[in-house]
Amino acid sequence: MASFLRGKQAGMQNDLSANILPGSFVPDDRARYGINSQIGCIAYEPVQSLLAIGTNESKFGSGRIYVFGQSRVQKFLIPPRKCSFVDLQFCANRLVSLDDKHEVTIWNLDTGKKLTSFRAPGAVCCMVTDPMLDWCFLGMQSGELCAYDLDRERMSPFRLPNFWAEQNPSARAVAIVSMQLHPRDIGKLLIAYTHGVVIFSFKQNVPNKFFEYTIPPGAPGGSCQLVESARKPKVTQALWHPTGTFVLTAHDDGSLVFWDAKDGRVVMARTLYEHNIDRPVPNPGAAGDPKHPYVRIAWCCKQNPEDSGLLIAGGHKLDEPSSGLTFIELGITPNYATSSWQILSDYTKGKRQHMLETPAGAEVTNFTVIPRFSPHFAGAQDPIAIMTLLSSGEIITMSFPSGYPISPTNQLHPSVSFVHPFAVKFAVTELDRGRWLGMVENRSQGEPLLKGGAEAQLTRRRFEGRTVIQVAHADSTVRIWDVGHGDEIENPSQLQVDVARALDRYEDVNITAMALASGTGEFAVGTSKGEVVMYRWGGNQYFGKASNQKVEPNPGGMSDISSRSEPSLKSGLQPFSLYEMMQGPISALKASDAGFIAAGSANGFFSIIDLRGPTIMFQASMTEFAKQEKRTSFLKSRSHAPTAKEWPVVIEFGVMTLDEDKYSSICCFVGTNLGKVITFKLLPSGPGYTAALAGVAHLNDKVISICPIVAESGKPALATGAAVAGLREGRHVNGLLVVVTQSEARIFKPATSKGASKSFDDYLCDAAAVTEFELQGMALVGVFGDRIARAFSLPGLKELGSYPLPMMDGSRADSTVVTENGEVFCWTGPSELAILQVWGSGEEVMNTADTLINPALEVPPRPTISNVQWLSGTQYVSPTDLDLLIGGPSRPPSKRMMNATTAMERNLRAGPSSPTSASGSQEGWGEYLTRQLNERTERLNLMNDSMDSVADASQKWAEDTSKFVNKQKRNLILGSITSKFS
């Protein structure tokens, strides 16, 4: 009966929800965009061109791993228990993770599943892998080192003791702080302890070099403290020169020490500012400025590993105004055999030094080098970019070595952009599919950073609108992209607008409102200063050049800002007009397909802009619509309370017939924070339009949503191009308004009818919309403060169902959005959005079926020792030899080796038969190693024979030369004698 009465009161004859069955309101958790928690570590794989991001455990959930490829390719890896990830490393198409519980996990990147995991025998301080090895080396807090067999998925018996404690038994609390394999000689491992550094030889199974940095009395050192006594600063990191010529150690006093890797002598001790800090000087404590500790150092090199430089996070003075990364360009490495000690020392001073600046107010906590292709040289060969992690949790990508910021737009997955920098606000629009497919911007951009992976094949929906999200970021940029419906995204590209550039102001630019027209694609952005920036799709007449055209301030008026378009954007959303409302922050904004933009401000002002000019066609203050109501009570009378401040919070355009009108018209509905719904009628007047007040409806409290619908079908009665065109033909639209406030829902015919209503007594509404359940009917869906979504019938407003949303962040519930197609967008944390489809079956969020690994891409061979090093006696150790040294003779061949052997046998069988191929197919593991050793011995003998032949040839040449010289001398003497007798 209540439903029947509400239908009569609202003027709606049809039950629009009659076909919606009980149990239909079961939301599907369809997708996640963003990063769920603070980022703890980042890794990049250059061969497959993949990016991995690990997060920390927080109140928003456990840490997890995200792996991203090109365009929308992604997978997320969820650990079985809550943890924070401290390190990620790619190794032979696997991902190895280390968490804060000291558990190492190996992940299958194609399935997104865990292959295996193990708990390390102690507290792990660092982890090292190599793309050519099947071993994971773990440095322990106890100073010991153990190895895990990634191929056989078990711990190896190989274990190294604390060499520094053995060499110096008096040392206390000696822990491993970093490790690195030699970039060319895989048989050497650089182990950095807190007290010093050791080079360990796998082939000799002994440490053959010890490095201990001691600052003599009178030398300033890195900190210029306690200069009267000798000091031994603690080591924080050690790394190899790309060719292994030098070893660099970083210390907690700010010292950077270059060592000769052969004899262990100090080549240079310096900081970022001074050199030779280990030498006594007069008044050594005069220049002591406190410095930031070194966070991370990478020894980068070009394609030629002899040409290198140091990329350093930390080490700069505390009082420096700018922060960021420091790059010291060292240049070409001098020839060690022919260079003097002074030349080597001058080389470590560097050719030039500059800073790659990061945003102020946040320190660099980590960085990842992005090389072009090679995973070798500690992942730092020929880098094109650097991905920097800040203490705020944000990511900044910069070009290398210039340090110019790289926008993540169309370079990184949209989820990464939520922390690049932080997303602060979003809006959602159902955009026409044809319009969206044509909105592909043409922007000058560098080569893609991520090229790996392939998206899974999904179904394509050709006849639906696209759900397009607009995300505003802390750097005043807005990125616009299609979130999809779980289907194939035909246009996966992103659009970007730079609001700060459009305003010609780069400080104090905070975006408060956004609106995208669903048919025309016109876009508007409102700011906290009261400006409205309008964008329109088109070409850029200033492409490739900077415009010097000055735009004068015009408070209260419109300005042409087309000259402020981005020089790198050839075609896309271009700024064309600026409305300087200047009446407080923009609190509500709406763009209509009929060519209007309406804006409301927090100071209670409202304006309508006709984009045909553009001109301001209407301006008013909310105080003009305040209605003095006389209320009486039979119990007692009370005086009028002071008028509260009122401002617009929701704006919507529609086409319908108002009250007793005999015609339909374009309407603008404005909802306020005090519960008023003000209706304006937009009528043609000469070349433009005029706006007139049609009436005011009063509801209980803050308006949450206004949904104009057609009374017979419940479809949206929006001011689309087709609806406005129908007005010229005299079409009538019998429309109603479904208005939801925090505490009630009301259906009425505008502008002033009472209609039918339902109160929410036990909860407050945060977001609501009239949604369509395909082929079933229409319903009102709301999300409430108790983190429960509810559906109500139309027009009866009877509850059809409810469902909890435990993933929703309750502190940001007022930012939730409900769309016309039944999708709910809500924050799950500081930088992650959940997307749910309310007309579902309760499915949990699923991992993607994207393919990450391309098996056709092979890791390039690892760099090896040079011929000169080999001739001088350096023994070459191959990955196979290292498998034997670490795994022992009882370890079976690795799966990688077996696959290579199988492929080789297959190729041999495909070719002509020979005795060699027949015998090779029966070769066992022991025979294989024996053959490898014999072949190496044969090559060594051949080299010796060749050297002997060279020596014999040289001796013969010397003898022939001597004979020729003697003959010439004899002819000369005989000639002079015969001349005497002539």
pLDDT category at 882 given cuts 50, 70, 90 is confident
Identify which has the larger pLDDT, 821 or 920. 821
pLDDT in tens, 502-559: 999 999 999 999 999 999 999 999 999 999 999 999 999 999 888 778 899 999 999 9
464, amino acid identity: E
Distance (Å, whole) CA 865 – CA 886: 20
The answer to whether 572 touches 565, Cβ cutoff 8 Å, is no
Backbone angles phi, psi at 142, to 5 degrees: -75, -10
Reading the block at residue 35, the tokens are 């990063």
Q: Which helix or strand (DSSP H or E) is residue 114 part of?
A: strand 113-119
The answer to whether 817 touches 797, Cβ cutoff 8 Å, is no
DSSP H helices, 694-773, are 721-728
pLDDT value of residue 285? 65
Q: Which helix or strand (DSSP H or E) is residue 9 part of?
A: helix 2-10
474: DSSP letter: T
Distance (Å, whole) CA 385 – CA 368: 9
For domain 36-119, give the CATH number. 2.40.10
Average pLDDT, the chain: 89
Whether residue 751 is preceded by a cis peptide bond, meaning omega within 30 degrees of 0, is: yes
The answer to whether 643 touches 666, Cβ cutoff 8 Å, is no
Backbone angles phi, psi at 274, to 5 degrees: -120, 160
Distance (Å, whole) CA 685 – CA 290: 71
pLDDT value of residue 225? 84
Q: Is the dihedral of CA 27, 33, 34, 36 positive or negative?
A: positive
Whether residue 614 is preceded by a cis peptide bond, meaning omega within 30 degrees of 0, is: yes
Distance (Å, whole) CA 694 – CA 227: 83
Distance (Å, whole) CA 126 – CA 118: 15
Kindly report which listed range (31-40, 208-217, 544-553) carries the lowest average pLDDT score: 544-553
Give me Rg for the CA atoms of the chain: 37
Reading the block at residue 341, the tokens are 């000690």
pLDDT category at 977 given cuts 50, 70, 90 is very low
What is the per-residue burial (b if ≥16 Cβ within 10 Å, else e) of 881-898? bbbeebbeeebebbebbe
The answer to whether 362 touches 391, Cβ cutoff 8 Å, is yes
Q: Which helix or strand (DSSP H or E) is residue 436 part of?
A: helix 433-437
Distance (Å, whole) CA 750 – CA 671: 13
Residue 596: HSE in the Cβ half-sphere, 13 Å Cα cutoff? 29
Distance (Å, whole) CA 889 – CA 513: 68
Task: Could you list the beta-strand ranges (E) of 440-510.
Answer: 442-443, 466-473, 477-482, 495-498
pLDDT category at 901 given cuts 50, 70, 90 is low
Strands 145-149 and 154-160: antiparallel
pLDDT category at 920 given cuts 50, 70, 90 is very low
The answer to whether 480 touches 495, Cβ cutoff 8 Å, is yes
CA distances from 191 to 125, 187, 445 (A): 12, 13, 41
pLDDT category at 320 given cuts 50, 70, 90 is confident
pLDDT in tens, 200-209: 999 899 999 9
Strands 569-580 and 558-559: antiparallel
Q: Which residues pair with 325 in a beta bridge?
A: 313, 356
Query: Using alpha carbons only, what angle is made at residue 663 by residues 660 and 665, rounded to the nearest 5 degrees?
Result: 105
32: DSSP letter: E
Residue 244, number of CB atoms within 10 A of its CB: 22
260: DSSP letter: E
Distance (Å, whole) CA 44 – CA 95: 10
Residue 787's contacts (CB-CB under 8 Å, 6 or more residues apart) are: 804, 805, 806, 808, 810, 813
pLDDT value of residue 110? 86
The answer to whether 105 touches 97, Cβ cutoff 8 Å, is yes
pLDDT in tens, 98-154: 999 999 999 999 888 999 999 999 999 999 999 999 999 999 999 999 999 999 899
Residue 649: HSE in the Cβ half-sphere, 13 Å Cα cutoff? 23
Q: Which residues pair with 708 in a beta bridge?
A: 737
Question: What average pLDDT does the segment 553-577 reach?
Answer: 95
Whether residue 795 is preceded by a cis peptide bond, meaning omega within 30 degrees of 0, is: yes
| Of 108, 112, 113, 240, residue with least CA distance to 185 | 240
Question: What average pLDDT does the segment 634-649 reach?
Answer: 66
Backbone angles phi, psi at 980, to 5 degrees: -70, -30
Distance (Å, whole) CA 929 – CA 937: 12
Question: What average pLDDT does the segment 159-183 reach?
Answer: 94
pLDDT category at 639 given cuts 50, 70, 90 is very low
Reading the block at residue 623, the tokens are 């105080």
pLDDT in tens, 778-822: 999 999 999 999 999 999 999 999 999 999 999 999 999 999 999
Q: Give percent above pLDDT 90 in the chain.
A: 73
Burial degree of 685 (CB within 10 A; 0-12, 13-18, 19+): exposed
Q: Which helix or strand (DSSP H or E) is residue 415 part of?
A: helix 414-417
pLDDT in tens, 664-678: 999 999 999 999 999
| Of 848, 931, 948, 890, residue with least CA distance to 110 | 848
Q: Is the dihedral of CA 92, 94, 95, 96 positive or negative?
A: negative
Residue 76's contacts (CB-CB under 8 Å, 6 or more residues apart) are: 32, 64, 65, 66, 67, 112, 847
276, amino acid identity: N
Distance (Å, whole) CA 226 – CA 213: 16
DSSP string, 842-911: -PPP-----B---TT--PPPPP---HHHHHTTPPP--HHHHHHHHH-TTSPPPHHHHHHHHHHHHHHHHS
> pTM for the whole thing?
0.88
Ramachandran class of 714: left when φ > 0, alpha when ψ lies in -120 to 50, beta otherwise: left
Q: Which helix or strand (DSSP H or E) is residue 960 part of?
A: helix 925-981
Q: Which helix or strand (DSSP H or E) is residue 379 part of?
A: helix 376-379
Reading the block at residue 804, the tokens are 């909890």
932: DSSP letter: H
Distance (Å, whole) CA 79 – CA 408: 27
Query: In the chain, what are the domain boundaries?
Result: 2-26+423-441+465-626+645-837, 36-119, 867-970
Helix pair angle (925-981, 879-887), 10° resolution = 130
Residue 138: HSE in the Cβ half-sphere, 13 Å Cα cutoff? 28
The answer to whether 620 touches 606, Cβ cutoff 8 Å, is yes
Residue 749: HSE in the Cβ half-sphere, 13 Å Cα cutoff? 20
Task: Tell me: pLDDT of 888 over 60.
Answer: yes
Distance (Å, whole) CA 899 – CA 896: 5
Query: Using alpha carbons only, what angle is made at residue 976 by residues 974 and 979, rounded to the nearest 5 degrees?
Result: 105
pLDDT in tens, 442-483: 999 889 999 999 999 988 877 678 999 999 999 999 999 999
Residue given tokens 């940095």 in the structure block: 213
Distance (Å, whole) CA 60 – CA 831: 10
Q: Check if CATH label 3.40.50.1400 holds for domain 2-26+423-441+465-626+645-837.
A: no
